[in-house]
Amino acid sequence: MTLHLSSLLRKILITCFFIGALNSYAQQCKQMKIMWNMVNTYHVQPKSLDDKLSQAVFQDLFDQLDPDGMYFIEEDMNEFKKFKFDLDDAILNGDCSFITQIETVYKKRLEETDTLIAQILNSPLDYKVKEVMTFSKSITKKVPATIDERNNRWRKWLKYKTLTRVFSPRGEDERPPVIDNTSFQKMEKPARQDIKLFEQKKIRKILNEYNTLYDYILNEFASAFALYFDPHTEYYTNSEKNIFESYVSAENLSFGIEIKENSKNQVEITKLIPGGPAWKSNQLNKGDLIVAARYEGSRNIDLSFSDLNEAYEILFEKDIYEVELTIKKVNGSVKKVSIQKEKLVDDENVIQSFILQGEKKIGYIFLPSFYTDWEDKTGLGCANDLAKKLIVLQKENIDGLILDIRNNGGGSVQEALDLAGIFIDVGPVTLSKNQYEINVKKDVNRGTIYNGPLIIMVNGLSASASEIFSAAMQDYHRALIVGSTTYGKSTGQNIWPVTEGDISDPNAYGKYGYLKLTGSIFYRINNKTHQGTGVVPDLILPDLYDHLEFREKFENYVLTADTINKKTYYTPFNSPPGGDLQELSSYRLSTHPYFKNVLAISDSVKNIYNSEFVISLDLEGFKKTHQLGDYHWEQWEKLMQHKTDAFLVINDEYTRELIKLDEYNRDINQFQIENIENDIYIEETYKIMLDFINLDK
């Protein structure tokens, strides 16, 4: 009887365990059903929840779990394929129990690989055997058929990474080292250990980043689901959402510290912001190593066996206000230092203005992002800051203005509207279409701040809000757009809490994370969109990277361009003399040594990018490939060694006085001046401005 009761009790407990586990999985997967409802309601182009979605999300999920086909083998994938067309049902029913099957196999493969990396790299590798690795964007990822094939892939990959590490620059030196057989023998073992540490870090981060590996896979599932709707719909955990917002904010609470991962994969302090908390502690110095960190509610986190992302998540997480750092000094001593965040200006988001003093006095402003204060709806952002700079520049009697938004990936659309209002009178700036309606977004403020000649510099990394602004200036004929075709992102996103409550409530908390969701497509005031096509400049300057496939149109699941029919009323300025300006510029480009060669180099880059690139893994073969790369590097450096004689870069009177007593800002200012003096694109844009002013007389 006792045995019978014991057996019955055990069955009841096991049953309860599985019911509890299923309820737990259903609870954890609830976020997927909530996300589906959000996308279906708010996405500008929602898609059906069907087998097509299931198949795509399945593929993307495993591309995220095993991006290079280095963990799973064919046997694993054949087993997983049984739910390839069932993920839509899993989302609809809030049942993610299939993840447990992935979790078991994934954990096993990760642990096997972790051991394998140590086995391969604990002994010297054979650099005499003739073998190669082939890189090509046309090669489709294929998982290895067997464990032996997977292990061989890892052996070749680790050999390639070790060779690359040996031949890579060290410390402050940006040039690759010269390697002979003697120096190679000396550098090979440390390089192997560096690669071992780095590769094992990646694996252990996957295994330990969340409470369980199940949670990690669930988040990757959520990310793959979001991606299916377009490249910019993204799922964020709470910490990822905070980091995203901090990057586009001008004023942040900060520890006043900058870090990097040094050559030994250690987290090293590279700069203390003057006046910031780390600076004022008088206990931290450039070159200190951060070996551990602890904040309220956390354990002591070992950063000596972590990657840079984990350190970033601690130091730049918005909700972490105080941290205790364990520091290893250069002399080897270890100490603990506590610092609290304070409000300071982030160097990355400060607008800098200069005067290009030559035949004409031209103002130059570089705008790195369309930042704003996300927390305060009455807060002022980049448009207000730029307006202040313009007022100062106009007191210097500038003859024209160059606004540089190259590499500006966007930010706040409202700031783009406000910035347009500085240069045009009241009127439409862009049109926005969501699932249900089309809205005209206007500059509602009468009057302008600057009415003189204006050139806007763009390139392939000018995106989103940058494109809305530059497209409006082009349609109004208010500015000349100079550079290369922009990125081609004409969609708008909002970040919504993934929660069971009212997501429109400004106080709503993302119980299950956050969803950055594409809710609108933006159109130019001529009813066309730059989605996928980008803003084409009035004057093209050849760019070395134009042939690379990095723009929006090359992304998976990109939304296609279309047109709308919405009446807008605006008064454009007189058309600029584009043809004459292009002719004058083209002549200069044809005689300039840099621009003459950039097209040839760009074609070489295109050929390499679009073809198979075979790298020898024996020492002598790899060295030859490396020497060829050195040659191209030297040729490129010679082209870039150019200081303009077209103008001098000077500060306005206000800035000159401001930096007199601030050595740090004075050094930064000088560094920026030298960058402008050596920027060939700014030089040509300055000359275009001179032509613009002269032809407009």
pLDDT at residue 415 is higher than 80: yes
The 10 Å Cβ neighbour count of residue 156 is 15
**What is residue 285's predicted lDDT score, i.e. its pLDDT?**
79
Q: How confident is the model at residue 276 (pLDDT cuts 50, 70, 90)?
A: confident
The least confident of 68-82, 254-268, 475-489 is: 254-268
pLDDT mean across residues, the chain: 84
Q: What's the CA gap between 551 and 598, in Å, rounded?
A: 20
pLDDT digits (tens, 9 = 90+) for 192-226: 998 998 899 889 889 987 889 999 999 999 999 99
Q: How confident is the model at residue 305 (pLDDT cuts 50, 70, 90)?
A: low
Is there a contact between 257 and 276 (Cβ–Cβ < 8 Å)? yes
pLDDT digits (tens, 9 = 90+) for 651-680: 999 888 888 877 767 877 888 899 899 999
Chain-centre distance for alpha carbon 688 = 31
**What is residue 631's predicted lDDT score, i.e. its pLDDT?**
66
If you search the block for the tokens 């680790």, which residue do you land on?
158
**What is residue 321's predicted lDDT score, i.e. its pLDDT?**
84
Tell me what the mean pLDDT of segment 129-158 comes to. 90
Tokens representing 121?
């790299």
**What is residue 11's predicted lDDT score, i.e. its pLDDT?**
37
Cα within 13 Å of Cα(627), Cβ side: 10
Cα within 13 Å of Cα(346), Cβ side: 22
Q: How confident is the model at residue 263 (pLDDT cuts 50, 70, 90)?
A: low
Helix 213-227 / helix 181-208 crossing angle, nearest 10 deg: 90
Is there a contact between 369 and 382 (Cβ–Cβ < 8 Å)? yes
Between residues 219 and 641, which one has the greater pLDDT?
219
Q: How confident is the model at residue 595 (pLDDT cuts 50, 70, 90)?
A: confident
**What is residue 587's predicted lDDT score, i.e. its pLDDT?**
93
Tell me what the mean pLDDT of segment 152-170 comes to. 88
Q: Are strands 514-523 and 427-433 parallel, antiparallel or unpaired?
A: antiparallel
Count, in order, helices (H) and strands (E) of the chain.
Answer: 20, 22
Between residues 302 and 376, which one has the greater pLDDT?
302
Q: Are strands 539-540 and 480-483 parallel, antiparallel or unpaired?
A: parallel
pLDDT at residue 323 is higher than 70: yes
Tell me what the mean pLDDT of segment 540-565 comes to. 89
Chain-centre distance for alpha carbon 132 = 31
Q: How confident is the model at residue 257 (pLDDT cuts 50, 70, 90)?
A: confident
pLDDT at residue 597 is higher than 60: yes
DSSP at 217: H
pLDDT digits (tens, 9 = 90+) for 101-141: 999 999 999 999 999 999 999 999 999 999 999 887 766 78
Residues in the chain: 697
Chain-centre distance for alpha carbon 544 = 20
pTM beyond 0.85: no
**What is residue 9's predicted lDDT score, i.e. its pLDDT?**
37
Q: Which residues contact 618 (CB under 8 A, 6 or more apart)?
A: 127, 128, 129, 130, 131
pLDDT at residue 7 is higher than 60: no
Helical segments of 228-307, H only:
238-247, 277-280
Tell me what the mean pLDDT of segment 177-190 comes to. 82
How far apart, in Å, do the first and last CA atoms of the chain sit?
Answer: 108
Q: What is the 3-state secondary structure (H, E, C) of 361-407?
A: EEEEEECCCECECCCCCCCCCHHHHHHHHHHHHHHCCCCEEEEECCC
The 10 Å Cβ neighbour count of residue 53 is 19
Q: What's the CA gap between 581 and 695, in Å, rounded?
A: 8
If you search the block for the tokens 């930010």, which residue do you land on?
411
Tell me what the mean pLDDT of segment 87-99 comes to. 92
Tell me what the mean pLDDT of segment 296-318 comes to. 74
Helical segments of 209-356, H only:
213-227, 238-247, 277-280, 308-315
pLDDT at residue 235 is higher than 90: yes
Q: Are strands 400-404 and 454-458 parallel, antiparallel or unpaired?
A: parallel
If you search the block for the tokens 């020492």, which residue do you land on?
619
Closest CA to 268 of 290, 284, 251, 246: 290
| Measured CA distances, 517 to 230, 532, 552 (Å) | 9, 18, 17
Q: What's the CA gap between 468 and 160, in Å, rounded?
A: 43
Is there a contact between 499 and 508 (Cβ–Cβ < 8 Å)? yes
**What is residue 242's predicted lDDT score, i.e. its pLDDT?**
63
**What is residue 364's predicted lDDT score, i.e. its pLDDT?**
97
Closest CA to 440 of 559, 573, 567, 572: 567
Q: What's the CA gap between 653 and 72, in Å, rounded?
A: 63
pLDDT at residue 506 is higher than 60: yes
pLDDT at residue 17 is higher than 50: no
| Long-range interactions of 420-423: CB distance < 8 A, separation 24+ | 420/469, 420/472, 420/473, 421/383, 421/445, 421/448, 422/383, 422/386, 422/387, 422/390, 422/448, 422/449, 422/450, 423/448, 423/449, 423/450, 423/451, 423/454, 423/473, 423/478, 423/479
**What is residue 173's predicted lDDT score, i.e. its pLDDT?**
44
Q: What's the CA gap between 3 and 8, in Å, rounded?
A: 9
pLDDT digits (tens, 9 = 90+) for 429-462: 999 999 999 999 998 888 899 999 999 999 998 9
Q: What's the CA gap between 154 and 163, in Å, rounded?
A: 14
Letter for the amino acid at 22?
L
**What is residue 259's predicted lDDT score, i.e. its pLDDT?**
85
pLDDT digits (tens, 9 = 90+) for 357-389: 999 999 999 988 887 765 555 556 889 889 999
Percent over 90 (pLDDT), the chain: 50
Q: What is the 3-state secondary structure (H, E, C) of 118-185?
A: HHHHCCCCCCCCCCEEEECCCCCCCCCCCHHHHHHHHHHHHHHHHHHHHCCCCCCCCCCCCCCHHHHH
DSSP at 327: E
pLDDT at residue 44 is higher than 50: yes
Tell me what the mean pLDDT of segment 293-311 comes to. 75
**What is residue 432's predicted lDDT score, i.e. its pLDDT?**
95
Between residues 690 and 22, which one has the greater pLDDT?
690
Q: How confident is the model at residue 649 (pLDDT cuts 50, 70, 90)?
A: very high
Is there a contact between 542 and 602 (Cβ–Cβ < 8 Å)? yes
Q: What's the CA gap between 491 and 557, in Å, rounded?
A: 13
Q: What's the CA gap between 526 and 471, in Å, rounded?
A: 10
| Measured CA distances, 246 to 224, 350, 407 (Å) | 24, 14, 18
Q: What's the CA gap between 279 and 516, in Å, rounded?
A: 35
**What is residue 630's predicted lDDT score, i.e. its pLDDT?**
66
The least confident of 178-192, 261-275, 535-549 is: 261-275
Q: How confident is the model at residue 563 (pLDDT cuts 50, 70, 90)?
A: very high
